Structure 1
């Protein structure tokens, strides 16, 4: 379990905030002026708010930056009686947003944070101002969604492993020891900057998963895919039209082997045909680790241009 006050040698210097609105102690970073528009940063698997540590200082001068840790990740609790499917995380995020009454939200989504954030948008399109996909899928009821997900799963080493492990029973034992294999898990998904690998960085990502009981979140993401338990939120017609009208931006590391650009960027363009796409060569799945300064500059420029 990660301590609430742990800054990981000053690399995550943000004051911790907690709410029990989702039915457990959910941690979130809350930086910047309270009256400003909100930038809501949503992580995926098996990361936490630490992924956005370089982005927060850049954006919080003019925006209120909220970075929640999903249930079972980071500094949030891991309740043992809860399920950890996609729809559960959407429910939790919705309760956080309503409890804080967040409005004029720019979604910044990575990995599974994409379908979580788009689930929130489907339910509350009036609270969403902009959409930013940073190697984060935006599944929103596209006609060829299943085909693209299937094609990606067949080519992705991570999803190939999940499918195999789900069948042979090794998924939960392996991910239940994530604290010991965090580096191999992160590398399987893909980052290119090996200079990241320090004791502090490994501790920030690995210490959260000290025992199997701490690993329900990461197991849930993977097991939900293997068993078909995840359900993408389906927006109503009015919500779908409202979201498609929002300013949007895609930033994609093209070395991503887990969520491959050829399968997921067409989904983004189908929703937001006029939106710019920035392809980052040599940047992997964890784009915010490989190219944090470039991504921060692109998002800041986008916020200013659409302000």
Structure 2
């Protein structure tokens, strides 16, 4: 957990806010005028709101931008008595949204942000105005999964079998750059001391890495599947598919197979826009931030 007022040499110049209604101290940014359209951005593994720093600065000029740090990431606490599961992250989001009284939300989600906003929307259909996805997947279609694991999940599987996974993901304070390069980003010019400190600081010890350790295991062992099935059975899929959606994909992603993710999205939304970023990786917000910001502005304006 990062100190509340830490701004990493003013690369994160946003006021910290905290919500304790989920039984732990959850950090979020809330920038822009309260009455503007709401854009809520969700990060994934192993980042935090910092990945949206350019987005907050630009989008808050015209919109209200809310960016929470998920439980166990960024400036949020890492409680030991919580289950680090898709279900818990979704319930945390629901409680935060209710606390802030946010309505008609345009969601932006990358990596785990996609499944979280998807499940939230299935459970709260009238509160989602649009879904803008970045290098992520809902997995709700019948698109056949690739037979071979991606490089990221091959690494996860190998190290879990060797008994070394918790050691490696439990030392993110020193391994964060290697882990993010394994998932892949291509814009190496962004790397400096501030950048590395910003992404490493949430993980001073192994206990602080619980969220990052559990996310890939949720996928590898399909632990999130029963909750997704529950959401699909109890949600109105027709209404879900009527919600405006758009996908941006960094095609050098090493965590989620780009072709599979795009096929899955198009199976659900055959007429929705897909933008391929040929030279971007899994962390497209770092590789092509301003391109994506303009696409988000266009998406919100058109919907």
TM tier relative to shorter chain: over 0.9
Equivalent residue number for residue 137 of structure 2:
137
Q: Which of 260, 271, 276 is matched with 1:274 structurally?
A: 271
Quote how far apart the aligned CAs of 1:40 are: 0.8
Deviations 1:100-154 (A, max 9, x none): 12111111010011101101011001000001011121233x223xx42x54xx2
Normalised by the length of structure 1, the TM-score is 0.94
Q: Which of 181, 185, 207 is matched with 1:187 structurally?
A: 181
Moved over 3 A (4+): none
Equivalent residue number for residue 73 of structure 1:
73
Equivalent residue number for residue 54 of structure 1:
54
Normalised by the length of structure 2, the TM-score is 0.95
Gaps of 5+ in 1: none
CA distance in 2, matches of 1:89, 1:189: 21
1:13 match: secondary structure: coil
Deviations 1:89-110 (A, max 9, x none): 1111111112212111111010
Equivalent residue number for residue 192 of structure 2:
198
8 A Cα contact 1:163 1:226, kept in partner: yes
Equivalent residue number for residue 253 of structure 1:
250
The root-mean-square deviation of aligned C-alpha atoms, in Å, is: 1.4
8 A Cα contact 1:118 1:138, kept in partner: yes
CA distance in 2, matches of 1:46, 1:113: 11
Aligned length, in residue pairs: 300
Quote how far apart the aligned CAs of 1:61 are: 1.9
Quote how far apart the aligned CAs of 1:85 are: 1.4
CA distance in 2, matches of 1:281, 1:25: 38
Equivalent residue number for residue 159 of structure 1:
153
Q: Which moved more, 1:44-53 or 1:259-268?
A: 259-268
Q: Which moved more, 1:238-247 or 1:293-302?
A: 238-247
Query: What aligned pairs does 1:101-112 form with structure 2 within 5 A after superposition?
Result: 101-112=101-112
CA distance in 2, matches of 1:245, 1:229: 28
Deviations 1:285-306 (A, max 9, x none): 1000000011101111111122
CA distance in 1, matches of 2:105, 2:233: 20
Deviations 1:239-296 (A, max 9, x none): 2111211111111111112112111011111221111111111111100000001110
Q: Which of 210, 214, 219 is matched with 1:216 structurally?
A: 210
CA distance in 2, matches of 1:298, 1:185: 28
Quote how far apart the aligned CAs of 1:50 are: 0.3
Equivalent residue number for residue 5 of structure 2:
5
8 A Cα contact 2:152 2:183, kept in partner: yes
Gaps of 5+ in 2: none
Equivalent residue number for residue 93 of structure 1:
93
1:235 match: secondary structure: helix
Q: Which of 253, 261, 265 is matched with 1:264 structurally?
A: 261
8 A Cα contact 1:33 1:64, kept in partner: yes
1:72 match: secondary structure: coil
CA distance in 1, matches of 2:21, 2:119: 18
Residues 8/56 of structure 1: CA separation in 2 closer, same or farther (3 Å cut): same
2:106 match: secondary structure: strand
